[in-house]
Amino acid sequence: MSKRVTLLTDFGTADGYVAAMKGAITQIAPNVVIDDASHDIPPGDTRAAAIALRRYWRLYPRGTVHVVVIDPGVGSARKALVVQADERILIGPDNGVFTLVLNEAESWTAYSAERSEFFRSPLSNTFHGRDVFAPLAAHLASGRAAAEVGPGVDAPVRLDFPAPTRDGERVTGEIVYVDHFGNLVSNIPATMITTSMRVRVGTFHLIPLSHAYSEGAVGSAIALINSDDVLEIGVRDGNAAHHFRIGRGARVELIPTQ
Amino acid sequence: MSKRVTLLTDFGTADGYVAAMKGAITQIAPNVVIDDASHDIPPGDTRAAAIALRRYWRLYPRGTVHVVVIDPGVGSARKALVVQADERILIGPDNGVFTLVLNEAESWTAYSAERSEFFRSPLSNTFHGRDVFAPLAAHLASGRAAAEVGPGVDAPVRLDFPAPTRDGERVTGEIVYVDHFGNLVSNIPATMITTSMRVRVGTFHLIPLSHAYSEGAVGSAIALINSDDVLEIGVRDGNAAHHFRIGRGARVELIPTQ
Amino acid sequence: MSKRVTLLTDFGTADGYVAAMKGAITQIAPNVVIDDASHDIPPGDTRAAAIALRRYWRLYPRGTVHVVVIDPGVGSARKALVVQADERILIGPDNGVFTLVLNEAESWTAYSAERSEFFRSPLSNTFHGRDVFAPLAAHLASGRAAAEVGPGVDAPVRLDFPAPTRDGERVTGEIVYVDHFGNLVSNIPATMITTSMRVRVGTFHLIPLSHAYSEGAVGSAIALINSDDVLEIGVRDGNAAHHFRIGRGARVELIPTQ
């Protein structure tokens, strides 16, 4: 069985930087299979990367190596992290991209990659995707242990994701992500929602809860528990972000039906 | 030999939905190789997906599993389809994305995937790419038979692709697709075309037939039989859709040379 | 060990042309692993393709087959090239996309692919990615020798990349590439640079040399030796191309510090 490595970056593909990472991996570990997760994370958007990564890291089989390179601090003193979580390996800069993995893993240990035998030589200051994270992925996919890369890290950097609040029967949260379809993903988990609630987003809209986008008429607003088990607002066959003219950070309220 | 699974979606990659599908597939079938066909189909555009799929489904070797998730009706009563056609397997929603496969296959049988052992559990109402189509692909790539997934389907949904018409020596068709280069792909097959015809597109243009884009001067309009064996109109080193300001649905005529 | 084939095109993925290439490869060589390098090269931009290819072709292990299809001259008399360089195989049109490979390889031999047994039959005039380059890649990844495809080529087409000039202590070059982040990549190699120089780009800006983007304040201009060992100008956490409103072809000067 070939080991699998996934790649998540904000590089786009046109420059050849992603292909350079793939070359650097297969140079060391020629038999790995590399799956592109995405290279279209908005430049520097560690928050978007954390949310995308949450959607797949534990669906992959045990032993998978997930590489995440959203790295605006490349060349600074930020650590290069190797995280072992629920029998998957995650590799990337210590800048918060693993926040949701750490929050959700049953158990994890993290290491600061410092031993230069795991890096490319010479080592650039500007492209650790190729020179640090790709070789690390190759070595770990080839059977080296995470603990070999360097000392343990007790408290990796975590991004501060906003938490929803409850006030009586009212729940207030916010839009934390807008997806490719313009669907508005909130931070309100299914456990805080009852079917007798309506959703207010922006200032005017009171949307009842549905089970599926196909329940609404074309062009109508829909609110439902999405496949990540959080509240999501969309427009049937349309783009909710455009429709409501709102985006990340917008307030969402769940209000009891009168 | 590893089984191969291809993915065609309208998801984009940035949200992690595609990676979630890849994870769900490899969780069940860790040795499959996954090829991205595309994740850039315009949202909900089943017609564009049908045309893209036509270009590759039978070029892949026998036994390949092609997954197509353009699924605006997710969560509705639309069937999840498994089609066995010319020894390839196709998996996706029953909404017409397989129209051209069914039209062109020498033989096919279709099944409605209903047996929950082939699905992820729990099953969401919003993300059948991950919960239905990916697990189906993994099980079928692992040797389960298409007929096991559920009852046969005699008449899968078919999209109504417009047919060209002939009136005397004149042939009338339409643009059914605009590609990445702005080339205008018509529905007029090579079999309806003779070299003594000229092409009228928009209202003013009479273009003689060429054999290759490189025959024209830079910036000039070219009409030729394309690699799908249909009439295509382009501009040498340019973008015909911008040049003529027309797109899908525009009328195309083939007129005998005087 | 599976042979690896990489693909670099200007096709985008949405039309299914890339998937058709993958199908045409795996039809002949079902066990190859195909890595997407990129399909987002700007249409017809052989120069951008040459620069992207330079970033990865020799990082991949010996024996890798790199396919490059940026081919505005498809259907003309331009040759189909197979280049063997430093134990990698490169396949693509003879239009300059291999310029930097030829410039940097320790040794190379090139062949004009002419023997039709290596092509798909029938052979279209518009899609040599599918009909010529993909089958060539499959056959060469399956162990056929480059020299079998046709006669040798002594002088493949080369693009004319501008060279930097030195006048006393002053070095003048130009921006040859703008990357996904808006970083401005010049043609001035590290060997022409000393740390006592400042960089002038546009008309007003005198930027000292840094070691990493993280050295600058957010929004400030940075000049450094990049991971390709050439001078690059960027903006910390920003887009230098937008900031300076310049692009490919802009003049860059290195001026001694007073």
> Per-residue pLDDT for B243 more than 70?
yes
Q: Which residues in chain B are closer than 8 Å to C34, comparing Cβ atoms?
A: 35
In the numeric block, the tokens 């158990």 are attached to: A107
Residue A194 has a pLDDT of 87
In the numeric block, the tokens 């190789």 are attached to: B33
Give the span between the Cα atoms of B175 and B252, in whole angstroms. 7
Residue C204 has a pLDDT of 62
Q: How far is B33 from chain A (nearest CA, A)?
A: 8
Q: Which residues in chain A are closer than 8 Å to B20, comparing Cβ atoms?
A: 55-56, 59
Q: What is the pLDDT of residues C223-241, one digit of tens each?
A: 999 999 999 999 998 999 9
Residue C205 has a pLDDT of 73
* pLDDT-derived band at C207, boundaries 50, 70, 90: confident
* pLDDT-derived band at B1, boundaries 50, 70, 90: low
Q: Residue A43 and residue C180: Cβ atoms within 8 Å?
A: yes
Q: Which residues in chain A are closer than 8 Å to B31, comparing Cβ atoms?
A: 1-2
Other Cβ atoms less than 10 A from the Cβ of B236: the count is 18
Torsion over CA: A100, A104, A105, A107 (sign): positive
Residue C257 has a pLDDT of 83
Comparing alpha-carbon positions, the chain C residue that sits nearest to B233 is: C126
Residues near A168 by beta carbon (within 8 Å), at least 6 away in sequence? none
Q: Which residues in chain B are closer than 8 Å to A8, comparing Cβ atoms?
A: 16, 19
Q: Which residues in chain A are closer than 8 Å to C51, comparing Cβ atoms?
A: 15-16
Q: Residue C22 and residue B41: Cβ atoms within 8 Å?
A: no
Q: Residue B227 and residue C24: Cβ atoms within 8 Å?
A: no
Q: Residue B23 and residue A53: Cβ atoms within 8 Å?
A: no
How many angstroms separate the Cα of A233 from the Cα of each of A49, A213, A214, A238, C78? 21, 10, 13, 11, 53
Interface of B with C (CB under 8 A): 1-2, 4, 6, 8, 33, 35-42, 48, 51-61, 64, 177, 179-181, 211-215, 224, 226-227, 232, 237
Q: How far is A100 from chain C (nearest CA, A)?
A: 24
Comparing alpha-carbon positions, the chain A residue that sits nearest to C60 is: A23
Q: Which residues pair with B232 in a beta bridge?
A: B185, B224
Q: What is the pLDDT of residues A123-147, one digit of tens each?
A: 998 899 999 999 999 999 999 999 9
Q: Residue A180 and residue B43: Cβ atoms within 8 Å?
A: yes
Q: Residue A180 and residue B75: Cβ atoms within 8 Å?
A: no
Q: How far is C58 from chain A (nearest CA, A)?
A: 8
Q: What is the pLDDT of residues C27-62, one digit of tens each?
A: 999 999 999 999 999 999 999 999 999 999 999 999
Residue A207 has a pLDDT of 85
The two tokens of residue A3 are 């080991």
Q: How far is A122 from chain B (nearest CA, A)?
A: 31
Q: What mean pLDDT comes out for the span B171-180?
A: 96
Contact B253, B197 (CB under 8 A): no
Residue B214 has a pLDDT of 83
Question: pLDDT over 70 for what percent of chain C?
Answer: 98
Choose, out of A10, A126, A180, the residue to mutate when testing the contact with C (most C CBs < 10 Å): A126
> Per-residue pLDDT for C81 more than 90?
yes
Q: Which residues in chain A are closer than 8 Å to B142, comparing Cβ atoms?
A: none
Q: Residue C53 and residue A16: Cβ atoms within 8 Å?
A: yes
Q: Which residues in chain C are closer than 8 Å to A12, comparing Cβ atoms?
A: 38, 40, 180
Comparing alpha-carbon positions, the chain A residue that sits nearest to B124 is: A227
> Per-residue pLDDT for B205 more than 80?
no
How many angstroms separate the Cα of B224 from the Cα of each of A157, C12, C113? 58, 22, 25
Chains near A with 3+ CB pairs less than 8 A apart are B, C
> Per-residue pLDDT for C1 more than 60?
no
The two tokens of residue A153 are 């890290």
Q: How far is A30 from chain B (nearest CA, A)?
A: 15
Three-state SS for chain A is: CCCEEEEEECCCCCCCHHHHHHHHHHHHCCCCEEEEEECCCCCCCHHHHHHHHHCCCCCCCCCCEEEEECCCCCCCCCCEEEEEECCEEEEEECCCCCHHHHHHCCCEEEEECCCHHHCCCCCCCCCHHHHHHHHHHHHHHCCCCHHHCCCECCCCCCCCCCCCEEECCEEEEEEEEECCCCCEEEEEEHHHCCCCEEEEECCCEEEEEECCHHHCCCCCEEEEECCCCEEEEEECCCCHHHHHCCCCCCEEEEEECC
B158 burial type by CB count under 10 A (0-12 exposed, 13-18 middle, 19+ buried):
middle
Strand ranges (E), chain B: 4-9, 33-38, 65-69, 80-85, 88-93, 108-112, 165-167, 170-178, 184-189, 197-201, 205-210, 221-225, 230-235, 251-256
Other Cβ atoms less than 10 A from the Cβ of B191: the count is 7
Residue B128 has a pLDDT of 96
Comparing alpha-carbon positions, the chain B residue that sits nearest to A211 is: B125
A159-173, A239-253, B104-118, B208-222, range with the lowest pLDDT? B208-222
Exposed e or buried b per residue across C220-232, where buried means at least 16 C-beta atoms within 10 angstroms of its C-beta? bbbbbbbbbebbb
Q: Residue A125 and residue C180: Cβ atoms within 8 Å?
A: no
* pLDDT-derived band at A1, boundaries 50, 70, 90: low
Task: Name the residue with higher pLDDT: C194 or B134.
Answer: B134
Q: Which residues in chain C are closer than 8 Å to A18, comparing Cβ atoms?
A: 37-38
Comparing alpha-carbon positions, the chain B residue that sits nearest to C9 is: B180
Alpha carbon of residue B197 to chain centroid: 29
Q: What mean pLDDT comes out for the span C183-192?
A: 95
Residue B204 has a pLDDT of 63
> Per-residue pLDDT for B46 more than 90?
yes
In the numeric block, the tokens 């007929």 are attached to: B147
Q: Residue B59 and residue C127: Cβ atoms within 8 Å?
A: no
The two tokens of residue A227 are 């496949």
Comparing alpha-carbon positions, the chain C residue that sits nearest to B56 is: C20
Residue C197 has a pLDDT of 87
Start-to-end C-alpha separation, chain C = 58
Contact A47, A159 (CB under 8 A): yes
Residue C186 has a pLDDT of 96
Question: Which of A34-43, A66-75, A218-227 is most confident?
Answer: A34-43
> Per-residue pLDDT for C202 more than 60?
yes
- The tally of CA atoms less than 13 A away on the side-chain side of residue C205 is 22
Q: How far is B179 from chain C (nearest CA, A)?
A: 6
Give the span between the Cα atoms of C248 and C251, in whole angstroms. 9
Between helix A134-141 and helix A17-28 the angle, nearest 10°, is 30
